[in-house]
Amino acid sequence: MKTLEETCIKPSPDFDQFCNTLLRKGDPNRVPFFELFVNPEIMDEILGKKTTDRLSTLEFYYKAGYDYIPAWPIVNWIFGSLVDTTSDYPIKDWASFERYNWPTADSIGYQEFEQVIPYLPDGMKMIGQTGGVFEAAQQLLGFTGLCYMLVDDPELVAAVFSKIEEVYIAMYSGMASIEQVGVLNLSDDLGYKTQTLIGVDDLRKYVLPVHKKLAKIIHDAGKPCVLHSCGYLEEIMEDIITDVGIDAKHSYEDLIVPVEEMKRRYGDRIAILGGFDLDRLCRSTPQQVREYTHKLVIELGADGGYALGSGNSIAAYVPVENYLAMLDEGWSLRR
């Protein structure tokens, strides 16, 4: 199976039902799909053409059975790398902080949203998302620099997060004001396999208060708030649910806590999204993918508070036939 035409998917987007799933009011007979994103190489292979613009990306998400298309604002950050930690980072001390050219509300662009709006199929909306507050701090200071600075100069750390907050408040206010944006996603990787990336007290001091303000902006606009975050977050899950106030959580890995266990622990308070572990999705046969998809949909979707998808995102190395098998099986179980 290499094309969407070979699946049983007959696109019929229903964004209202998707939102009901996020709010745990969903119809258990219709488990929707959710991904943080699908890598362009995968979309290209499935569609048989380059997804070089938002309209071809919209075509993919529609034909693949999603109720939405993700869209990102454009912000002119000057960043270092989250991947290459040997790269230079723009803020090292108070002098470089004072010199840094911070984005302003007027400089934030919403071109992706504007390009999609005239072509949205009936029943389909957008999810607004961008990189996270904590991730922005790492790209400004470097992870090692941030860790040192938390001890050596916490006042500078506070100043950096305060400026980041200003940009994010403007960005999320802008996205939330767009009628065709029905959900907003806080995408901020806070942990790794065994614990959070920095101490939980520091997360509570610098990061989670900003998340809480962004969640309030989202909810004040009458829209659900999703958190995408990788890693082991058990120590701050209560903060995330009770204080920040998310409606749904995404990103799960079997080696950390399997999605089934997260559903057992938190499924009565937040919606659980995705969770088909990427390693399993890549290494399984298409038939094994179908069997596990069936298990997820039937068991986790029984109360209407679950959306089917990968544990993280559909990366370029995911076998196309396995990804399509997951979608095909998931669609076939809509009863």
- List the chain domain ranges: 1-71+251-335, 75-108+131-235
Instruction: Determine the Cα–Cα distance for residues 247 and 266; give it in Å rounded to an integer.
Output: 11
Instruction: Determine the Cα–Cα distance for residues 111 and 74; give it in Å rounded to an integer.
Output: 8
Instruction: Tell me the pLDDT tens digit for each residue of 298-311.
Output: 999 999 999 999 99
Structure tokens at 14: 């229903």
48 Rama sector, left if φ>0, alpha if ψ -120 to 50, beta otherwise: left
What distances in angstroms separate CA 154 from CA 145, 148, 231, 297, one per listed residue? 12, 9, 24, 46
Structure tokens at 47: 């569609």
Structure tokens at 298: 């039937």
Cα dihedral: 20, 129, 113, 168 (round 10):
120
Q: Is residue 15 scored above 90 in pLDDT? A: yes
Instruction: Tell me the pLDDT tens digit for each residue of 92-120.
Output: 999 999 999 999 999 999 999 999 999 99
187: Cβ contacts below 8 Å, ≥ 6 apart: 36, 129, 130, 131, 132, 135, 227, 228, 229
Structure tokens at 282: 């890549």
Instruction: Determine the Cα–Cα distance for residues 279 and 295; give it in Å rounded to an integer.
Output: 17
The yes or no reply on domain 75-108+131-235 and CATH 3.20.20.210 is yes
Helix (H) or strand (E) holding 111: helix 111-116
- Residue 312: pLDDT band (50, 70, 90) is very high
- Residue 3: pLDDT band (50, 70, 90) is confident
Q: Is residue 2 scored above 80 in pLDDT? A: no
R_g of the chain, CA atoms, integer Å: 20
Mean pLDDT throughout 41-48?
96
Instruction: Determine the Cα–Cα distance for residues 57 and 116; give it in Å rounded to an integer.
Output: 9
Cα dihedral: 54, 60, 63, 65 (round 10):
-100
Q: Is residue 274 scored above 80 in pLDDT? A: yes
**pLDDT of amino acid 87:** 82
Q: Is residue 335 scored above 80 in pLDDT? A: no
Instruction: Tell me the pLDDT tens digit for each residue of 148-187.
Output: 999 999 999 999 999 999 999 999 999 999 999 999 999 9
- Which comes out higher in pLDDT, residue 85 or 26? 26
- Residue 83: pLDDT band (50, 70, 90) is confident
- Residue 85: pLDDT band (50, 70, 90) is confident
Q: Which amino acid is at 268?
A: D
